Structure 1
Amino acid sequence: MTEPPAKKKCLGIGCEKDADLQCPTCLKLGINDSYFCSQDCFKKNWGEHKAMHKTAQGKTQNGILHSIITPKVVSKPDPATGLYNPFPAFSFTGPLRPVYPLSERRTVPKSIPYPDYAESGIPKSERFINRNKFDLLDAKGQDAMRKACRLGREVLDIVAAEIRPGVTTDYLDEICHNACIERKSYPSPLNYNFFPKSFCTSVNEVICHGIPDQRALVDGDIINLDVSLYHEGYHADLNETYYVGDKAKADPDSVRVVETARECLDEAAKLIKPGALIREFGNAIEKHAKSRNCSVIRTYCGHGVNTLFHCPPNVPHYAKNKAVGECKPGMTFTIEPMIALGKYRDVTWPDNWTSTTVDGKRTAQFEHTYLVTETGVEVLTARTPTSPGGPVPMPTVENGTNGT
């Protein structure tokens, strides 16, 4: 799972500065992604910015009131199937819809070690850490991370092998959950800040944190599987985006966004070594994304991971970020760029988890957990020769030229 960065980008026109000053009117209206770098920048952009308030209040033709207030209306279950959309009044940005009811929360045997949030839902240990202190693992800790990440890779590969048109994301969640249990591991997302499932399934326009439900995959979908597990006191974290059926592999836009995301992670990983600055990863990622006419999601970032699911450092994926710190031997962290075909801004569904692109266009993500070594980097969650998925060539259009 991803973690939001400590800073947001300023909404000022042409301003690329980090921002932590939030508009008070936006706070009252429930608009969460509204930040400015300074009072001066806020005042300069007031004329344009106040239009957002009217839109949020439903005073414009494109009012987004339902996008910021959880609808209380729940559609009735289909008499034939019992399935329903729990948020029928919500203004979805794309064609995807949630399909409820969610299955019952899956259980984990007490014999398997639990993280501190497993029962309470609150990761208390993450709330009292020094955000400027980066953990450096000793040899024992590094070996524990290697083991956890190897198991995480096994689980992801098992679930990915089940991807095909007709299976539900809830079925994939069951596969993931059982695979974790078989490896005497706790699925890290389960009840983390009250997340209801054992991993995240993000389809098409979903950026991240998609909740597995009763929707069946269809030929032409793309899906990100985000697996995290807790084994003997250490967390592993990795994800990949996969093509569902042959239609997705034949769609130039789907292939462009998936392969660009894959390549962006590779470009960033090339920089990892002792002394490398955390902020440089975003420069490499955004440069490559822009070369493919794609954008980089800014709301979520990579993070440190070890005995804690999320800890320092924060690893933004966009250029010119102000992330602090440098790589040192013994550090373990994720890089997990989310790349979109359209705009980089995001909208969260009323389930308070599912994050989608603001324009409903497709998005893809890839993630590895890395260990900084004395000489470079070790990819703890690396693919194996038998891992499902992998790069797909850009399909050709009818005139024989590459799709764009």
Structure 2
Amino acid sequence: MLSICKNNFIIFRNLLQKFNHYNNLVKQKFFSTTNFLSYEIIEPKYPISSITRNFPKDILLPDYAINGQPNKHNNSNYVKNPNDIEKIWNSCKIAKTILMKTGEQLKIGMTCEDIDDIVYNLCLKYKCYPSPLNYSGFPKCVTTSVNNIAVHGIPDQRQLQSGDIISIDVSIYYNGFHGDCCHTFAIGDCDQQAKHLMNVAELCLYEAIKICRSGQRISAIGKTIENIARKYEMNVVKEFCGHGVGKDLHENPQILHYDHNSEEIMIENMIFTIEPIILETSANVVMFDDGWTVASENDCRSAQFEHTIWIRKHDSVILTEI
């Protein structure tokens, strides 16, 4: 699950009339200059339904589960000890298991609220809590970002269609620690551009993981990702970043996914996510009135893949693999 890494991220979406006029102009250009557009542009469906999610007493709840306000632990020293690493690894395995089992059930005609139900029931099965639920008030167990929705899509009643691509971000809380991962899935038959976009996004993630080790600059991650995206004439969303994972869902360090100057280095036993959002064209992003859903400004599609990794002396280990 991404964290916002720009304090000056300005929301224009509430200027709805002006935005729609501009957006229509962009769409006219976009439709006329591309030959691969075969997907529906998503607008969130309101109101978002509210369902009470109950958890048995043997599932440990995070501090924000009731009041919606996550506490901040002391993360100034974000190098993990062996016991913490083992617990985070267990959480990551569960998160990835839930993510892939959810992906196996995707089909044309199901809604994103159906996906939310699947994630909730799998969390009950694996005795964990879905980290997004009530995190700063987020209303669902999972984020589902379809087509032009870049990140933090709220599950609603829209039915999935053949040709859609959907990024499902699963985060869970188990035994006092979070695990976090994301994967983009194709629904039915999607076009070649969508397949290419997903391949590039996944390549960005794995090439970035390859360079991770103790002593490496954290900024090398962003440089690697942006270089690959630019090579394939695609764009990296800069407003959101990866993050440390542990007792809190979002900890230090912040992992920027674009080329930047920073001398902060990776340290053995750090644990953090790498989760670039790759857009198929150059575009900015805008946020909807719900305060969560973020879309590409020109309605181009995006893909996101995420792993949580553990930094070691000479390499890194992907904790969200099963």
Q: Give the alignment's TM-score, normalised by structure 1.
A: 0.71
Over the aligned positions, Cα root-mean-square deviation in angstroms equals 2.1
Which amino acid is the alignment partner of residue 223 of structure 1? I
Structure 1 partner of 2:211: 271
Q: Distance between the aligned counterparts of 1:348 and 1:183, measured in 2?
A: 33
Q: Distance between the aligned counterparts of 1:209 and 1:57, measured in 2?
A: 20
Structure 2 partner of 1:154: 97
Residue correspondence of structure 1 range 4-403 to structure 2 within 5 A: 4-6=4-6, 32=10, 62=21, 95-100=41-46, 101-125=48-72, 129=74, 133-246=76-189, 248=190, 251-319=191-259, 321-323=260-262, 325-382=264-321, 384=322
Aligned-residue offset at 1:181: 1.5
Query: Residues 61 and 376 of structure 1: is their aligned pair in 2 closer, same or farther, counting only changes over 3 Å?
Result: closer
Aligned-residue offset at 1:137: 1.3
Q: Distance between the aligned counterparts of 1:60 and 1:152, measured in 2?
A: 37
Query: Residues 211 and 136 of structure 1: is their aligned pair in 2 closer, same or farther, counting only changes over 3 Å?
Result: same
1:149-193 Cα offsets, whole Å, 9 max, x none, are 111111011110111101111011111011111111010000000
Q: Do the aligned partners of 2:11 and 2:287 also contact (CA within 8 Å) in 1?
A: no
Q: Distance between the aligned counterparts of 1:322 and 1:138, measured in 2?
A: 29
Larger RCO (CA within 8 A; separation ≥ 6): 2
Query: Residues 57 and 289 of structure 1: is their aligned pair in 2 closer, same or farther, counting only changes over 3 Å?
Result: closer
Q: Do the aligned partners of 2:123 and 2:130 also contact (CA within 8 Å) in 1?
A: yes
Q: Distance between the aligned counterparts of 2:228 and 2:271, measured in 1?
A: 24
Aligned-residue offset at 1:107: 2.2
Q: What SS class does the counterpart of residue 170 from structure 2 fall into? A: strand
Which amino acid is the alignment partner of residue 303 of structure 1? H
Q: Distance between the aligned counterparts of 1:221 and 1:58, measured in 2?
A: 27
Q: Do the aligned partners of 1:317 and 1:337 also contact (CA within 8 Å) in 2?
A: yes
Q: Do the aligned partners of 2:6 and 2:240 also contact (CA within 8 Å) in 1?
A: no
Q: What SS class does the counterpart of residue 58 from structure 2 fall into? A: coil
Q: Do the aligned partners of 1:118 and 1:192 also contact (CA within 8 Å) in 2?
A: yes
Aligned-residue offset at 1:271: 0.9
Structure 1 partner of 2:33: none
Query: Residues 370 and 350 of structure 1: is their aligned pair in 2 closer, same or farther, counting only changes over 3 Å?
Result: same
Structure 2 partner of 1:27: none
Q: Distance between the aligned counterparts of 1:174 and 1:270, measured in 2?
A: 35
Which amino acid is the alignment partner of residue 115 of structure 1? P
Aligned-residue offset at 1:33: 6.1
Q: Distance between the aligned counterparts of 1:172 and 1:59, measured in 2?
A: 33
Aligned-residue offset at 1:58: 6.8
Q: Distance between the aligned counterparts of 1:187 and 1:342, measured in 2?
A: 32
1:263-295 Cα offsets, whole Å, 9 max, x none, are 000111011001011111111001000111100
